[in-house]
Amino acid sequence: MKRVYVDEKWCLGCHLCEYYCAFANSGRSSMVKALKNRKIHPRIRIEGDNQISFAVSCRHCTDPICVKSCIAGALSVEEGVVRIDEEKCVGCETCVLVCPYGALMPSESGVMQKCELCIENAGGKPACVAGCPNKAIIFEERA
Amino acid sequence: MPIDFLYPEYEVVRDASRCIACRACERQCSNEVHAFDEELECMVSDESRCVNCHRCVSICPTRALKIVKTDHTFRENANWTGDTIRELYRQAGSGGVLLSSMGNPKPLPVYWDRLLLNASQVTNPSIDPLREPMETKTFLGKKPTKIERDEDGRIKTELTPQLELSTPILFSAMSYGSISYNAHESLARAAEALGIYYNTGEGGLHQDFYKYGANTIVQVASGRFGVHKDYLSAGAAIEIKMGQGAKPGIGGHLPGTKIVGDVSRTRMIPEGSDAISPAPHHDIYSIEDLRQLVFSLKEASGYKKPVIVKIAAVHNVAAIASGIARSGADIIAIDGFRGGTGAAPTRIRDNVGIPIELALAAVDQRLRDEGIRNTVSLVVGGSVRSSADVVKAIALGADACYIGTAALLALGCHLCRSCQTGKCNWGIATQRPDLVKRLNPDIGMRRLVNLVNAWTHEIKEIMGGMGINSIEALRGNRLMLRGVGLTEKELEILGVKHAGE
């Protein structure tokens, strides 16, 4: 299955992936309309400093501990992609506690959100990958 | 605070209705032009630091930025232009020699643009390169004067060492130190993929790049940095750098701040020490001396590699080239006055040397007149900007072209001409690790390969239009050129007729 991988060697820490992510998940037609004068809630986050940085988002684990921990059955695996049903989420934040990558976080509405590989938006091609100026985020199949 | 005589040259124009304050411009500008003002809750800029490199413009996700030349003006006149006044104020403030980088920006004649190419009509058919073979392969090195046969009458096919190029283009010398590790890796990998060559420049060859040796020209310059036996053996050819088009007659100076880590190891000089290349080679004061170095290098590398001698195009270039041809060199490289540099004194860059087009025509003619044109190949550089320039250079008599500035542009350079500051936002002319990593060689190499492939396609199209199917048949074919708006004297030196003749 194709996953998002990051290469810290080429990450510039420009944070553009966060903005492309927030835009892609906004449902708006332009980045300006979507993000102007707003605090963004991206599903990918840059960690590190100016010397070493990298983007962190859901790893789509083969045996995801977040899915097991979800008390509301909001998290599930569909064709390898860990998905969240925001209608079912009760906001208990157990998944936030158990995820070793910090890949889930509260959304603007209070329920949890996570990277779903842009399958519902951006034409199925992760927006962070398309927007990275230095090929530091890659979408590919690895053994 | 002293009076600031200089108004910023560029202004940063930010479209407030588009800016989403993502601060990417702030994070990506090594000159610290952009900042987020917490009080005003918006991005602000200090345009006095802007060098107009377009890094911020290129990465802004909402295209909210543009840079414009300021319309603020001095009381200019035709004699005292704004640039002249500005430079004078800078010198009065600093007391120093003005430094610049990249090539001569002055509005001196560009002869490439005054030469027009021929095409076939009616009586001689043009060739469609998509349907018929078109040869761009080029060999550089000495060519035999006559056919020789052994005692059984078979033709002797042994030649002195040659460089084989898939297309008549090479990446010119840019040292590791003046440009970054990632820039070198991009050039080396692109040269390998294209079947051409890149040139180490005078900074030695990084250990990691010995594996690209078959596509590397190693340079020996007056500072002899990083030169040892393995280095000489590593490349496909050895180039002796006598001069550089951007700064003929003077040496180089890489400041100690850039001699860090691998650059220091590769150059074989201590960290933090200035790398000073003397103006002359201190062991070369005559053609005979040059001959000694040519043969020392051949001896050291087992006579397996052609030796290139690179000179700047200066007034007596034809006579100098004739001497070089007799020194045993296999290839002469000539760098015109518009050639690039990582740093040169502004006055030298803008006032010394001659145009490559005239130098090339003069050298080619001189070597032909003396009957020694076949003993050397000619490679020219110094602002070859497009495939059309390559075709015109070959028609004027060149065997191949060096491209430096064009290659850097492909890697992202925006010709801001501030390489000497070492803060290149595009990761090219810098050694700062956080900036160097901005140039991902996977991307850089692909862009270089694209550029040279595109030029090669165009060269084939142009040659086809002229009814010529190989570089060999185009070389020195000055009948394919016509001048426009040139004087009798210029036409005479170029050896071409005026359009209409």
Q: State how many domains chain A has.
A: 2
B239, β-bridge pairs:
B219, B308
Q: Is B158 helix (H, G, I), strand (E, B) or coil?
A: coil
* Residue A17 is assigned to a structural domain of this protein: yes
Q: Is B373 helix (H, G, I), strand (E, B) or coil?
A: helix
Question: A53 with A2, same domain?
Answer: yes
What the block records as the tokens of B85 is 């006044």
Question: At which residue do the structure tokens 């070793």 appear?
Answer: A100
Task: Give the pLDDT of residue B302.
Answer: 94
pLDDT (tens place) for every residue of chain B, 501 residues total:
688 899 999 999 999 999 999 999 999 999 999 999 999 999 999 999 999 999 999 999 999 999 999 999 999 899 999 999 999 999 999 999 999 888 899 999 999 999 999 999 998 899 999 999 999 999 999 999 999 999 999 999 889 999 999 999 999 999 998 999 999 999 999 999 999 999 999 999 999 999 999 999 999 999 999 999 999 999 999 999 999 999 999 988 888 888 888 999 999 999 999 889 999 999 999 999 999 999 999 999 999 999 999 999 999 999 999 999 999 999 999 999 999 998 899 999 999 999 999 999 999 999 999 999 999 999 999 999 999 999 999 999 999 999 999 999 999 999 999 998 999 999 999 999 999 999 999 999 999 999 999 999 999 999 999 999 999 999 999 999 999 999 999 999 999 999 999
Task: Give the pLDDT of residue A49.
Answer: 86
* Residue A137 is assigned to a structural domain of this protein: yes
What distance in Å separates the CA atoms of residue B250 and residue B341, rounded to the nearest whole number? Answer: 12
Question: At which residue do the structure tokens 């080619």 appear?
Answer: B364
What the block records as the tokens of B244 is 């550089």
Q: Residue B78 carries which DSSP code?
A: S
Inspect the interface and report whether the beta carbons of A16 and B440 lie closer than 8 Å: no
List of chain A residues whose C-beta atoms are within 8 Å of the C-beta of residue B443: 134-135
Question: A93 with A65, same domain?
Answer: yes
Minimal-distance CA residue of chain A relative to B182: A10
Mode of pairing for the β-strands spanning B377-381 and B163-165: unpaired
Inspect the interface and report whether the beta carbons of B62 and A12 lie closer than 8 Å: no
Task: Give the pLDDT of residue A121.
Answer: 79
Inspect the interface and report whether the beta carbons of B437 and A12 lie closer than 8 Å: yes
Find the CATH number of the domain harbouring A101: 3.30.70.20
**Number of alpha carbons in the 13 Å side-chain half-sphere of residue B165:** 29
Sign of CA dihedral A133, A136, A137, A140: positive
* Residue A119 is assigned to a structural domain of this protein: no
Task: Give the pLDDT of residue B258.
Answer: 81
- Give the residue among B81, B52, B77 at the shortest CA–CA distance from B65: B52
Question: A26 with A42, same domain?
Answer: yes
Question: A1 with A51, same domain?
Answer: yes
Task: Give the pLDDT of residue B84.
Answer: 94
Question: A49 with A72, same domain?
Answer: no
Residues A99-115 have a mean pLDDT of: 94
Domains and CATH numbers, chain B: 10-96 (3.30.70.20), 167-473 (3.20.20.70)
Question: A10 with A52, same domain?
Answer: yes
User: What pLDDT band is residue A122 in, cutting at 50, 70 and 90?
Assistant: low
| Residues 70-129 of chain A whose Cβ lies under 8 A from any Cβ of chain B | none
Question: At which residue do the structure tokens 């398309």 appear?
Answer: A130
List of chain B residues whose C-beta atoms are within 8 Å of the C-beta of residue A15: 22-24, 27
What the block records as the tokens of A30 is 């332009």
In sequence order, the 6+-apart residues with CB closer than 8 A to the CB of B316 are none
Question: With contact defined as beta carbons under 8 Å apart, do B390 and B459 qualify?
Answer: yes
Task: Give the pLDDT of residue B253.
Answer: 84
Question: A28 with A2, same domain?
Answer: yes
Q: Provide the domain limits for residue A4.
A: 1-57+125-143
Minimal-distance CA residue of chain A relative to B426: A134
List of chain A residues whose C-beta atoms are within 8 Å of the C-beta of residue B60: none
Burial of B353: CB neighbours in 10 Å, binned 0-12, 13-18, 19+: buried
Task: Give the pLDDT of residue B257.
Answer: 80
